[in-house]
Amino acid sequence: MHSATTSTKAHLSGTGAPLRVEGVAMTSSHNSSNQRTLDPRTKLFLLLAANLMLFFHVSVITQIIMVLLFLVPLAAAGRWKMTANFGLTFAILTGLGFLDPEAIGLPWLHVVSALAVGCTMMLPCFITGAYAFTTTSPSAFICAMRRMRAPESVVIPCVVVIRFFPTIAEDYRQIRNAMALRGIAAGGWGLVRHPAQSLEYILIPLLMNATNVAQDLSVAALTKGLGRESVHTSRTEIRMQIVDWLMMIAVMVPLMLDVAGVMR
Amino acid sequence: MTASHSPADNTAQTANQSSGKPAKTGKLEVADLITIGVFAALYFVMVCVATLVSTLFTGGFGSIFLPAIAALISGCVYMLLAARLGKFGGITVMGVVIGLFLFISGHFVLSFIASIVFPVAADLIARVGKYKSKALLLVSYVMFSYGLTGPILPLWFMKDAYIASLQARGKDAAYIDGVFANINTATFFISMAAILVCAIIGGWFGQKMMKKHFIKAGIA
């Protein structure tokens, strides 16, 4: 009896502990992310601002200021490596953009220079996008969408998409394992050698599973009341704080100045 | 004998199954929305794979062929969604969700517009064929594939930017035209034609896979 209980306890701690630890880690990171990242709506605003930069062809100085501003929240969220990577890439690309192929006497360098200018323009979008993607918890994202009165027919698929990504990754691993067991497309270049075959062998099981999962999820979601008409509650609270407003203003000022033509 | 008999049997069964579902009204229900979400996730993964492949093949101007490659590989996903759902709005919602995720992952905001307009058109085309007509589904898939042109639109914006920066450095207009003579319209048409061809091949492949796997299994 005693040994049985200890064994179950050991068993529980054997399987349950990592799960629980993971859960704790998740909630704690979740809490800290709540404190140290911006509101999802602010992130959307930053994305829009980055897009507007692309639209208005802002000058290089504005671009540098804006990118520095965009990197601040990323660093504040503790993504040091990503911040450094983006900063470095931006610095190199800006430098390449200033290259004058004529002066060096190599006209083909225009390709490099044009590419650099193009990538520099895209980079703000990527920075804000990476920030939005890596620091927003699904529940905060959903809460923000509901707050912005997005129709339920868009919110629900979005929930499912976020929920379904890990499942796809897991399924993919298992499918590859099963394929390797049968000696299909084993090795690094196996997939590339027969593209149509590998597409079929990977995608069809994924789709088969997807249809099943869709049914299971619908049952589960309906049980939890996703189909109800009334307002849904959320455990995650999102709130616009002073930092959010400050960030918005800080981003808007250089953009406005540039568009108005003051900072050219 | 049995082999020739079973497809008809199965189609009857699937017809029963689909008509037996509670959601047979024209409106999208929660179950349909979840189905759309699942397929949108798969489609988004396909787009990510396409981005990767396209970047590997074409280097820096990575995403020129993104829509084409995505169209090539995601025919199955689209065809199965159309067959599973079979009501108006599904394709549109999928396009909107994809556009939203593209925007959040840092793509150009105009991609959002493209990914609303083209899926709506695709949805309308598919509806004419009641989501059954193979030819119309293929056309609608081609239309849907153009919805992904959004992410590559910045290429033309960034051309303007480079021209602006050249002008700022005092190059004359003729010189600038010379630099961009062959980047402009040619690549645009090549990439558009590539989407057309790849979408037809991908849609055909998808329909073949449907016939081979899903209709037999009674899922589609």
Contact status of A264 with chain B (Cβ, < 8 Å): no
User: What was the pLDDT predicted at A162?
Assistant: 85
Q: Give chain B as a DSSP string.
A: -HHHHHHHHHHHHHHHHHHHSS--SSS--HHHHHHHHHHHHHHHHHHHHHHHHHHHHHGGGGGGGHHHHHHHH-HHHHHHHHHHH-STTHHHHHHHHHHHHHHHTT--THHHHHHHHHHHHHHHHHHHTTTT-HHHHHHHHHHHHHGGGGGGTHHHHHHHHHHHHHHHTT--HHHHHHHHTTTSHHHHHHHHHHHHHHHHHHHHHHHHHIIIIIHHHT--
Contacts of A67 in chain B (CB under 8 A): none
pLDDT of residue B62: 55
Q: Is B73's pLDDT higher than 50?
A: yes
- CB nearest to A168's CB, from B42, B60, B205: B42
Residue B76 pLDDT greater than 70, yes or no: yes
pLDDT at B14 over 90: no
CB contact (8 A) between residue B29 and residue A227:
yes
Touching B: A residues 105-144, CB under 8 Å: 110, 113-115, 117-119, 121-122, 125-130, 132-133
pLDDT at B16: 39
Q: Which residue among B106, B160, B219 places its CB closest to the CB of A211? A: B219
User: What was the ipTM of the complex prediction?
Assistant: 0.73
Shortest Cα distance from B74 to chain A (angstroms)? 9
Model pLDDT, residue B202 = 92
Do the Cβ atoms of B80 and A211 come within 8 Å? yes
Chain B residues whose CB is inside 8 A of the A47 CB are 103-104, 106, 109
> Is A161's CB within 8 Å of B101's CB?
yes
The pLDDT of residue B111: 75
Query: In chain B, which residue's Cα lies nearest the Cα of A45?
Result: B104
Residue B120 burial (CB count, 10 A): 19
Q: Contacts of residue B34 in chain A, CB cutoff 8 Å?
A: 156-157, 160, 214, 217-218, 221
Highest mean pLDDT among A20-24, A26-30, B13-17, B139-143: B139-143
- pLDDT, mean of residues B124-153: 86
Judged by CB atoms closer than 8 Å, whether chains meet at B154 and A122 is answered as: yes
- Interval B127-138 mean pLDDT: 88
CA distance A157 to chain B (A): 4
CA distance B122 to B145: 9
A95 touches chain B (CB under 8 A): no
Q: Which residues of B touch A158 (CB under 8 A)?
A: 37, 97, 100-101
pLDDT tens digits for range B80-94: 998 888 888 889 999
Substitution target from A111, A126, A199 for chain B, most B beta carbons within 10 A: A199
* pLDDT tens digits, B161-181: 667 766 766 666 666 666 665
User: Regarding predicted confidence, which is higher, A112 or B42?
Assistant: B42
Indicate the pLDDT class of residue B200, thresholds 50, 70 and 90: very high
- The residue type of B204 is W
For each of chain A's 264 residues, which pLDDT tens digit applies?
Answer: 344 443 433 343 333 333 333 333 344 344 444 457 788 889 889 988 888 887 777 788 888 889 999 999 988 888 889 999 999 999 988 888 777 666 666 666 677 777 777 778 778 888 998 888 888 888 888 888 888 888 888 888 888 888 888 889 899 999 988 988 888 876 667 777 788 888 888 889 999 888 888 888 888 888 888 777 777 788 888 888 888 999 999 988 888 888 887 665
Cα A99 to Cα B152: distance, rounded to the nearest angstrom:
25
Contact B96 A115 (CB under 8 A): no
Asked if B161 lies within 8 A of A118 by C-beta distance, the reply is yes
**What digits encode the pLDDT tens for the residues B111-130?**
788 888 899 999 999 988 88
Question: Quick one: pLDDT at residue B10?
Answer: 41
Better-scored residue on pLDDT, B10 or B208: B208
A55 interface with B at CB cutoff 8 Å: yes
